[in-house]
Structure formats: structure tokens, C-alpha cells
Amino acid sequence: MTITAPSFELNFDVLPPEIQRFKETVREFAQEVVLPRAQQLDQAPAADFDWDLVKQGHALGLTRVAVPKQYGGLGLGMLGISVAMEQVAAACPGTALIFGATMLGQTPILYSGDPQLQARYLPLFAGDEPILACNAVTEDEAGCDLIIPENARHAVNVMSARREGDHYVLNGSKKFITNAKFATFASVFANMEGHEGATGLTSFIVDLDQPGVTRGPVADKMGYRACLGSELTFENVIVPVENVIGGELNGMAINIAQSNMARASVAGISTGVAQGALDKALKWCGERVQGGQLLYKHQFSAQKIAEMASKIDASRMLYMYAANKVDNQLPAPEYEPAVAKLFADRVAIEVADTAVSLIGARGYLREYGVEKMLRDSYGARIYEGTPEVLALAITDCLYRVSEAE
Amino acid sequence: MTRTLTADQPTAVAGRYTASILRLHERLHYPGLLEAVRGEPLHHHDHGDGLVTLAVRDSQLPLRYLRGILGFRLAQYLRLGWICPSLVQRAALFHEPFRPAHGVEDVHIVTLSAESGRILGYVGLSGSYDPEPLPLDAPGRPRLATELAHRIDLLGPYAAPELHTHHAFEVKRFLRDQSMPPGALASLVPWHIVLGFGRSLLALGGPQRRMLAVGDAKEEVAIRHLTLMGLDLTVVDGTSPSLPRSELMWPIYEQDTIAKPFVGRLPEGFRADMDTIETYLTEARGTRNAHALVEQLARRRKEATQP
Ligand SMILES: Cc1cc2nc3c(=O)[nH]c(=O)nc-3n(C[C@H](O)[C@H](O)[C@H](O)COP(=O)(O)OP(=O)(O)OC[C@H]3O[C@@H](n4cnc5c(N)ncnc54)[C@H](O)[C@@H]3O)c2cc1C
């Protein structure tokens, strides 16, 4: 009997050759350069930063993965970014986020489709010296309210913008901004004066080396210690009109679009964290003998390992599927990246937790590095959409579909 | 109210755009350029004076670096007021446009800071567009940019059986990083560029020195330098060059001093002149004497012109 089925392309084993090659290069960098330094970066004081690591990553193109080739980038899109983020995160998610946050800072510029804005900013990443960017949304009093459209009117004390002639004046501050300490420019969201809460949110590209910008102290985080998160304060900062993305009052839409584009790559980071934890658990369970046999041969351990591996494969497929959709659909979809991130973030925590348990007391020690992965695993559950924010986005899509039917 | 803008009054937006492009290029450094060159460069000078000079063909550079070089050119043109800011802004340029694929590859002579990889000086030699070489006096021969701007036939008078259009190279204006502070290093940049330029001409001309360097330049500046370095130069007087206002580079011909077109050939002693400049550049810092070098070169020119 022959089975005939409609043919369609869905092959997650075969990446486009350019992305496959890039993945391998990044993997080598992650395993040989990042991993040996991960422990030290984690234990160092909060404000320590490894520029050499950034320089090496930049040389591979990690600061310009999605930047189109015409601007000197790699032009590998969200799939390229996500795959690369998984590889770096398997060694150290904090290091991955240095590059990830830079790409987030670039996203509104890419999204704008404005050739002048792109020409002014994107070639910065094509030099031999690394340049970082950042994405500044979160504030002291306004967190999720700046990313949930329905709640925008409830946001309080949001950073303000007012137009004066051919420029805007920005006042306010942002919190927990990855790369703010060193970034050359930031994608910044501020509320137009006279608009309630964050209903007048507008997206700006702001040069950070200018009067009125203050980079605050570095936050002492539980994980992701290789990347630095700090406050950014803006005091009468001048931004030319050309640096508005998508026009006044469209900031929330830009923010959502940006998140839709970026979430697949964060799911890539979480998948990497899970993979890194699984790798450590596999090694241990393949060497440790208890009860007369290797740990992985005990059925309870075997089941744990099998569950970990299955979850990671599922995470990977979800993020690759989402990233591929982002690269091929305009506007970027909301549903698939949110699903991928929701799932992968949870898997990272579960897998890291199981890895700590499989390794026993050593899993609880700093030197084995797996407790770091557990601490790190919580990070992605917070940035670029908490589970609650993602749930709202997902259900929004589900009900939108059924209402349309 | 309707506001009319003339092309020479850039809008505030164009001004901000170009200022931003200048800032962009100030941040870009290329310490990896040297290692990225494919194959042997036409010229490579690195003798520990803080500068490195390379002469390479288009295809020897990864696109990222080529864009960087063309970006440096655009930035200097903007600083010198040789290119139209409004057109640059409207076309969203961040580097001088690539020339479409053409018959003979361009050569780029670049001087970089050895320490930072910042581009400090540049001169280019543009190769012919003709897919197949044409006699210099071929009817309907596509004109070079200099010929078009000056509305003259520069190559025709040099027609000879052994010369064709693939032997003619257009000299792009000598450029030095305008933001570089004056000092010992800054004064060495032009010599590095001149040496790289001369060595490239020799490489392109081969043993028979079969090549023509065509271009335009200001008499008191570049033409004097080209003569001093030993090129056998014919300068054409009396042209009034201009470019239509739709051309990016139209302001270059609206400067106070008019550039004159020239054709340069390689005389017999040219290699020796280059050796002299090279010796000067390789001398230890304290012993280098630019005045002595200029005098030596000038003496040679005098001797060469004396019957
Ligand atoms: C490692 C790391 C890196 C970061 N990098 C950046 C960065 O580069 N740029 C940046 O802008 N921010 C960054 N952040 C900040 C992050 O984006 C915010 O912390 C996040 O958006 C949540 O905001 P919040 O902390 O103010 O929490 P809150 O908004 O106060 O939320 C607290 C809790 O309440 C829940 N909640 C809030 N609103 C609702 C609701 N309507 N319904 C149900 N539950 C709700 C949330 O899900 C969360 O669980 C980073 C954070 C971390 C941990």
C-alpha cells in the first residue's frame, strides 16, 4: 500500500545553509569562549562587564544578525537571531541578552522601513568595534501597563514627550534597561504630554551620548549577571522629529509589533538555557553510579531526562516556527511568538530545576554552574512579556479568531 | 505658504541628516581591514609610524569594508562641501554609491591609523566602464566623468596602438580625514597616500608603464603635488566644468577655485621618486625631514625639464 500525502515544507532539521553555518560558528564561540567565562561573569560584582567577549561576538556578527546586508549586516532575520540566541544562552543567557537587547534596540528602526533612519543607525554595527543598543520601555511605576494596550490609561508617571518645532523634548526615566550603561542609542517609549496614562505613547530613537541623558547605577540581579541592567534618566533631552518611529501616539502599536518580532528570539534564549541545563544533567547522569548502575539507567531519572529532552525539542520547534513566521509575515504575527515564549520560558525553569535535582548536592553548588542556570531561567519569564502578559496576548488572538468566525 | 528651496540651501532636515552621517563615520573604525584583504594588495606600507597604507582592488575587499571606505569618502565630501547634502539625504546615502559592475576594477588607496583602524586618508583610481577595451579615439567612446564635467575629450589626443581605454584610470580626489587634529601624524598622511598612489600606478602600468591617470584637481594644491611626485602631467586650461543639479557631486564645481583637468603619464624615473618617498617614510621619526624631501623631489623635476 502506498500512502500519499500533500507535500509541504516543514523540515526543522534543515536550516537555510547560511543560518546553519552561522549557528555552528556561534556554537563554537559559545562553547569555547563564553562557557569557560560564564561562572566568573556570574560571580563578579554586578557592574563588571566583559568587553572582550562582546568584541569577539561582534566580530562574528552577533550585533548585526538581522541588519540587512546593504547596511553591512548578516541579513539572517529573526530565525538567524533566535538560533544564535539559543546557542549563546546554552552557555550564558546574560551574554546572549547583551546581543539580544542590541537587536531589540534595532528592531524599531528595521520596523520603521525608513531608509534615512536605517542609513543613520544601522551601519554603526558594521564597523570592527562593537556598538551596543538598548530598548527602553519599563519604568519605576509603569511596568506591564506599558505593554498591555487595554491598561495604557492606567499607567502612572510615564516618561513624557512634547513637541517643540522640529524636535521633541523628553523627560522621565526608565528602569532595568539592559545595555543602558554602554548603549550608543536607545529605542525609547514616552507619552505625549496631555494624554492620559500611556495612551499617547510614542516611539523614539534617542542618541544616548548627549546632554540630559544620565546612565544610572547597575542593578544587582539574581541572574543574567553578564549583561548589565540600569536606569536611564532623560532631562530635557532633545530628539529630532526624524527619530520618531511610526508617528506620534503609535508607540503602543510599535511596542507590540516589536515584541511580536522579538519574542521568538527570547524563546530561543530560554530553549538555550534548558539545553545548557540538560547538557549538564546528561553528563552527570551518564557518569554517576548509584545503586550499582549509572543514574540514567534508573527509571525515575530516565523519565526525567526524557521529559526534559522532549520539552526542549518542543520549545525549539515552537520558536523556530514562530521566527520563521516573523520573517515571512507582515505584520509579524502576535500568536506564535507569544506561544513559543510562554512555553519555552516555562520549560527553561522546569528543566533547570530538574537538572539541579538530578545532580544532587553538586547541583546546589556554585562551581557546577547548574544552579546559575536555575537562577538565569527566571529572567526571560519577566522581560519581553510575563506569562500573564503573554496569556492576554494569546487569548486575545484566540477569541479574535472565534469572534471573526 | 509655499516655500521654495534652492538646491544649494539644504533643508534643516538635510543638515541634521548629514550631521548624523558624519557622526556615524566618526564612530566607525576598521582595524580588521588589513587581515580581511583577499590576496596580495597592490601596495602595503606599514613601517611603525602609526599609519598603515593599503592599495587594493574592489574584489579584494569584503563588501562591509568597501562600504566603510565609500562611507569615509562620502563623509569627507560632505565636510568639504563637494556633495549636495539635500540629494544625499533624499537618497538616504551613508556611503558614496557603488559603481555598477564595470570593465576594469577600481583601486582604493587607504591610509588607516595603525592603532585604531580609523580611515585617515584616501585616493581612488576608477577603472574603465568599457566591457571590452576601446581605442582612445574610438568614435562614440563612453566619456569619463571628468570629460563629461569639463566637456572635453581628454583621452583622444593620447590615442596610440599600444594604449586603450582599460589603461586609463580616473583619479578620485585625494582625501584626508578633515576631523584629524594637526600634528606629526596628520602631516604624514598625504605622503602615505602619495606613495600608495604612485606604487599603484606603477603596478597598473606594468613594465612598460602603460597607463594614463586622468582627473581634475586644483592647480595650487593637488596638481602641484602630482607634479612634485613625478607624474608627467598635462593640464588643460580654459574649461568651465559643471554638473547638472541632479548629480550628487554638483557642488564640487561650484567652489572658489576651479579644478583643472589633467592627464598624467608615468615617466621613466617615477619608480625612483617613489623609492625616495618610501625612504623618507621609513626613516626614524626624529630624522625625517619633509623640507629636504620636497627639495629633493623639486630638484629632480628641474633636472628632468632641463634640456
Ligand atoms: C533580565 C531582565 C532584563 C530586562 N531588560 C529590560 C530592557 O532591556 N528594557 C526594558 O524596558 N525592560 C527590561 N526589563 C524589565 C521587564 O521588561 C519588566 O520587568 C517587565 O515588563 C515587568 O514589569 P515590572 O517588573 O514593572 O512588573 P509589573 O508590571 O509590576 O508586574 C508584576 C507582576 O504582575 C503581573 N501583572 C501586571 N499587570 C497584569 C495584568 N494586567 N494582569 C495580570 N497580571 C499582571 C505581571 O505579569 C507580573 O507577574 C528586564 C527585566 C529583566 C528581569
Predicted confidence (pLDDT) per residue in A332-355, tens digit:
999 999 999 999 999 999 999 999
- Picking from B52, B89, B94 by the largest number of A CB atoms within 10 A of its own CB, the best residue to mutate is B94
Q: Assign a CATH topology to domain A252-404.
A: Butyryl-CoA Dehydrogenase, subunit A; domain 3 (1.20.140)
Q: Using the beta-carbon criterion (under 8 Å), do B64 and A126 form an inter-chain contact?
A: yes
CB A201 within 8 A of CB A149: no
**What average pLDDT does chain A have?**
95
- Closest-CA residue of chain A to B27: A124
**What letter would DSSP give residue B60?**
G
**What pLDDT shows up at residue A3?**
54
**Pairs of residues, one from chain A and one from chain B, whose beta carbons lie less than 8 Å apart:** 59
Compute the distance between CA of residue A5 and CA of residue A7 in angstroms, rounded to an integer: 6
Q: What is the mean pLDDT of residues A364-380?
A: 96
- CA pair distance B133, B267, nearest whole angstrom: 23
Residue B5: band (very low, low, confident or very high) from pLDDT cuts 50, 70, 90: very low
Q: Is B50 on the interface with A (CB under 8 A)?
A: no
The overall average pLDDT reported for chain B is: 91
Cell numbers given for A154: 492606567
With respect to residue B22, please indicate whether it lies within any of the assigned structural domains.
Answer: no
Quick one: average pLDDT of A199-213? 97
* B156: pLDDT strictly greater than 70: yes
Within-domain flag for B252: yes
Q: Does B64 touch chain A (CB under 8 A)?
A: yes
Q: Is the pLDDT of residue B7 over 60?
A: no
Nearest to A129 among B12, B29, B93 (CB): B29
**Residue B1, pLDDT above cutoff 60:** no
Q: Which residues contact A137 (CB under 8 A, 6 or more apart)?
A: A146, A147, A174, A189, A255
Residue spans of the domains in chain A: they are 17-125, 133-249, 252-404
Q: Which of A129, A168, A182 to mutate to test the interface with B (most CBs of B within 10 A)?
A: A129
Is the confidence at residue A99, as pLDDT, over 50? Answer: yes
Please, what sign has the CA dihedral across residues A337, A343, A344, A346? Answer: positive
Domain presence at residue B60:
yes
A252 or B5: whose pLDDT is higher?
A252
Q: What distance in Å separates residue A23's CA from the closest CA in chain B?
A: 21
Q: Is the CB of A237 under 6 A from ligand 1?
A: no
Q: Which residue of A has its CA nearest to B119?
A: A127
Q: Which of A3-17, A148-162, B191-205 has the lowest mean pLDDT?
A: A3-17
Kindly state whether residue B12 falls inside one of the protein's structural domains.
Answer: no
CB atoms within 10 A of CB B302: 9
Q: How many angstroms separate the CA atoms of A227 and A216, rounded?
A: 15
Domain A17-125 = CATH 2.60.120.330 = no
Report the Cα B128 to chain-centroid distance in Å.
15
- A133-136 and A185-192 beta bridge pairing: parallel
**Does B180 map to a domain?**
yes
Tell me: domain A133-249, CATH 3.40.350.10, correct? no
B111 touches chain A (CB under 8 A): no
Alpha-carbon distance of A144 to A160, in angstroms, equals 17
Quote the number of domains for chain B.
1
CB contact under 8 A, A128 and B117: yes
Q: Specify if B283 maps to a domain.
A: yes
Average pLDDT on A2-6 reads: 52
At B305, the pLDDT band (50, 70, 90 cuts) reads confident
Sorting pLDDT into bands at 50, 70 and 90, what band is A2?
very low
Give dist(CA B192, CA B110) in Å, integer: 9
Distances (CA, A) of B96 to A189, B83, B125: 33, 10, 15
Q: Write the residue in A72, A127, A242 that is nearest to B16 by C-beta.
A: A242
What's the CA gap between A234 and A232, in Å, rounded?
7
ipTM of the complex: 0.89
B68 CB neighbours in chain A (<8 A) are: 72, 126-127
Mean pLDDT, rounded, for A100-117: 96
Ligand 1 atom nearest the C-alpha of A389 is: 47
Closest Cα to atom 44 of ligand 1: A388
Report the 3 state secondary structure along chain A: CCCCCCCCCCCCCCCCHHHHHHHHHHHHHHHHHHHHHHHHHHHCCCCCCCHHHHHHHHHHCCCCCCCCHHHCCCCCHHHHHHHHHHHHHHHCHHHHHHHHHHHHHHHHHHHHCCHHHHHHHHHHHHCCCCCCEEEECCCCCCCHHHCCHHHHHHCCCCCEEEEECCEEEEEEEEEEEECCCCCCEEEEEEEECCCCCCCCEEEEEEECCCCCEEEEEECCCCCCCCCCEEEEEEEEEEEEHHHEECCCCCHHHHHHHHHHHHHHHHHHHHHHHHHHHHHHHHHHHHHCEECCEEHHHCHHHHHHHHHHHHHHHHHHHHHHHHHHHHHHCCCCCCHHHHHHHHHHHHHHHHHHHHHHHHHHHHHHCHHHCHHHHHHHHCHHHCCCCCHHHHHHHHHHHHHHHHHHC
Going by pLDDT thresholds of 50, 70 and 90, the confidence category of residue B2 is very low
User: What CATH number should be reported for the domain holding residue B215?
Assistant: 3.40.630.30
- Cβ pair B43, B55 in contact under 8 A: yes
Is residue B294 very low, low, confident or very high in pLDDT (cuts 50, 70, 90)? confident
Q: Chain A closest CA to B283's CA: distance in Å?
A: 31
Length of chain A: 405
Nearest-atom number in ligand 1 for the CA of A104 is 8
pLDDT (tens digit, 9 = 90+) per residue, B170-223? 999 899 998 888 888 888 999 999 999 999 999 999 999 999 999 999 988 888
pLDDT given for residue B9 in this prediction: 59
pLDDT (0 to 100) of residue B3:
45
Domain that includes residue B137, residue range? 29-305
Catalytic positions of A: 384
Q: Which residues, 6+ apart, have CB-to-CB distance to A19 below 8 Å?
A: A76, A79, A80, A83
Considering only A239-248, A305-314, B137-146, B293-302, which range has the smallest mean pLDDT?
B293-302
Q: Mark out chain A residues that contact chain B at CB-CB < 8 A.
A: 59, 69, 71-72, 115-116, 118-121, 123-124, 126-129, 131, 166, 184, 240, 242
pLDDT band at residue A12 using 50, 70 and 90 as cut-offs: low
Region A131-150: mean pLDDT is 97
Q: What is the mean pLDDT of residues A23-52?
A: 97
* Residue linked to cell 542618541: A207
Q: How confident is the model at residue A190 (pLDDT cuts 50, 70, 90)?
A: very high
Query: What's the first-to-final CA gap in chain B, in angstroms?
Result: 70
Query: Comparing C-alpha atoms, which of A383, A321, A324, A323 is closest to residue A348?
Result: A383
Q: How many helices (H) and strands (E) does chain B have?
A: 9, 9
Q: What are the pLDDT digits (tens) for B73-130?
A: 999 999 999 999 999 999 999 999 998 888 899 999 999 999 999 999 999 999 999 9
Per-residue pLDDT, averaged over A272-280, amounts to 98
Q: Which residues of A touch B12 (CB under 8 A)?
A: 166
The one-letter amino acid code at A173 reads S
Write the pLDDT tens digit of every residue in A220-240. Answer: 999 999 999 999 999 999 999
Residue predicted with more confidence, A23 or A10: A23
- Span A286-310, pLDDT tens digits: 999 999 999 999 999 999 999 999 9
Q: Do A126 and B28 touch (CB under 8 A)?
A: yes
Sign of CA dihedral B147, B148, B152, B155: positive
Centre of ligand 1 to C-alpha A192, Å, is 22
The yes-or-no verdict on residue B256 having pLDDT over 80 is: yes
**Nearest alpha carbon to residue A269 among A118, A124, A78:** A78
Going by pLDDT thresholds of 50, 70 and 90, the confidence category of residue B4 is: very low
Give Cα A87 distance to the centre of its chain. 13
pLDDT, mean of residues A272-279: 98
Report the distance separating Cα A51 and Cα A64, nearest Å. Answer: 17
Distance B117 CA to ligand 1 centre (A): 41
Q: Hey, how many other C-beta atoms are within 10 angstroms of the C-beta on A10?
A: 8
Residue A255: partners with Cβ closer than 8 Å, 6 or more residues away: A137, A146, A147, A189, A201, A203
B147-154 LR contacts (CB < 8 Å, sep 24+): B147/B214, B147/B261, B149/B216, B149/B241, B149/B242, B149/B243, B149/B253, B150/B216, B150/B236, B150/B239, B150/B240, B150/B241, B150/B261, B151/B239, B151/B241, B152/B236, B152/B239, B152/B261, B154/B214, B154/B236, B154/B261, B154/B263
